[in-house]
Amino acid sequence: MNEAEISNAVSQKSDSRIITNIQVLRAFAALGVVFFHTGYIIPGGVHTQFYGVPIFFVISGFIIPRIGYKSARDFLLNRFLRIVPIYWVATLLSTSWFREPHELRGIQTVALLIVVLSPSGKVSEFMGRRSGASRVVKFLLAVSVVVAVDFFYRAVHHMSLEDRSIFLRSFVFLPTKHPDGSFYPYLDVGWSLNMEIFFYALFGLFLFISRRAAAPLTGLTLLVMRWLYVRGSIAGPYAEFYAQENVRYFIYGIALYYLFSALEKIPRNRLQSPAVRTGSALFIGGTIVPCILFSVFAHCASHPLAPALIVAAALAGHLAGHRIEFAPLLFLGNASYALYLFHTFFVKTFVEFSPFLPSLGTTTFIGMCVAVVVSTVISADLNRSVEMPLVALCRSFTDQ
């Protein structure tokens, strides 16, 4: 992290609207997903994401009503600019990246890691250097770009009609049911974004009706959809996807928003009294630790209340003054979306090299740790080098 990023993270601490515990929870949720995709099996045969994606859904259900958008147009435009452009970039890159030889992906990963770990830590500054080492890395990256374009052309040119349909539907966030019953889009991790976009669309629709009623109407609609699907009143692939059990996490998040809003009105001196601080600390420890232990030892990784309880614990800590304000974790929380989108690009590189370097295979503890660290470092840099500049560029067009 450079001084500007530390300053930005520090500024979040003083912003009363920012709940730092939620930012940190975003970081850990994203890391849980990265851990899951390494394929590492915890002793006892447990393969878990530590509730990563469900926690993201609960946070969305909580944070979207809290932000307080001025209008439906403002909300939908904001969500579009924040979510869609970088997702399109990741989807386009995936067409070539995952079809390249794994040796080439290994070279690209190493080159990107060198750029990220350079003294500047920024792609733009690194590419302007004239040292011998930078020239070698720039040459490797240039060759990689040329090869990637070639693989992209060949991938699209030889894409089957079914794959083209999935590819195009992925761009407009429409789920496609596969013969095996899954709903993965072209970029696998995008399935959760299809859920998120549906949630945003519902919330934006109800914002047109009433700003105050948008959150409860959204939660009620999701609840009714789920109820109708379970009792068999609605059917089909869209009903199966949009009424899946994961919708409950958005509802939990909305409920937490109203509970938090009510508690937030209590005077601070009462919320942060010694008795309340002690009680909240016990609640946090008595919630998060058992949830994590259940996911590891009790094979309850999909426990329906655990994600909501974890988010509730983070919010309770904020109200009671137990706030995590460690700048690197806040930075990683800000970069959690880029980490979620791009980590599979690099994790798969380690997975494919496992047969050649068994000691660094992701099935080993050391290999898993290396894969998580490398994927996190590169993805976090993509957040500041690609994602945020892209969002700023898109906003510049809409502000004109």
Q: Extract the tokens encoding 323.
A: 């706030």
Q: What confidence tens digit (pLDDT) does each residue in 229-277 have?
A: 999 999 999 999 999 999 999 999 999 999 999 999 989 888 888 898 9
Percentage of residues in the chain having pLDDT higher than 90: 36
Domain residue extents for the chain: 3-398
The lowest-confidence range among 107-111, 167-171, 314-318 is 107-111
Q: Give the position of tokens 């999909």.
A: 302
The lowest-confidence range among 111-115, 278-282, 327-331, 351-355 is 111-115
Secondary structure (H, E, C), 333-365: HHCHHHHHHHHHHHHHHHHHHCCCCHHHCCCCH
Q: What confidence tens digit (pLDDT) does each residue in 91-104 have?
A: 888 877 766 666 66
User: How far is the C-alpha of 253 from the C-alpha of 146, rounded, in Å?
Assistant: 45
Three-state secondary structure call for residue 51: coil
Question: Is the confidence at residue 156, as pLDDT, over 90?
Answer: no
User: What per-residue confidence (pLDDT) applies to 89?
Assistant: 85
Supply angle C-alpha 232, 235, 240, rounded to 5: 105
Comparing CA positions, the residue from 242, 234, 316 lying closest to residue 283 is 316
CA 233 to chain centre: 33
Q: Which residues of 341-370 are buried (b: 16+ CB within 10 A; e: fewer)?
A: bbbbbbbbbbbbbbeeeeebbbebeebbeb
User: How far is the C-alpha of 239 from the C-alpha of 243, rounded, in Å?
Assistant: 5
Give alpha helix (H) positions in the chain: 3-14, 20-37, 52-67, 72-97, 102-117, 123-127, 132-157, 161-171, 191-209, 214-230, 237-242, 247-264, 268-271, 274-297, 306-320, 327-334, 336-353, 365-382, 388-398
Q: Extract the tokens encoding 311.
A: 């988010």
Q: What confidence tens digit (pLDDT) does each residue in 189-239 have?
A: 999 999 999 999 999 999 998 888 999 999 999 999 999 999 999 999 999
User: How far is the C-alpha of 249 from the C-alpha of 255, rounded, in Å?
Assistant: 10
The lowest-confidence range among 128-137, 155-164, 323-332, 349-358 is 128-137
User: How far is the C-alpha of 147 from the C-alpha of 35, rounded, in Å?
Assistant: 29
Phi then psi dihedrals of residue 42, to 5 deg: -70, 140
Question: Is the confidence at residue 90, as pLDDT, over 80?
Answer: yes
| 381 or 17: which leads in pLDDT | 381
Question: Is the confidence at residue 186, as pLDDT, over 80?
Answer: yes
If you write DSSP's letter for every residue of 204-269 in order, what string do you get? HHHHHH-TTTHHHHHHHHHHHHHHHHHTTSS-SHHHHHHTSTTHHHHHHHHHHHHHHHHHHTS-HH
Query: Do residues 205 and 72 make contact, with C-beta atoms less than 8 angstroms apart?
Result: yes
User: How far is the C-alpha of 212 from the C-alpha of 167, rounded, in Å?
Assistant: 37
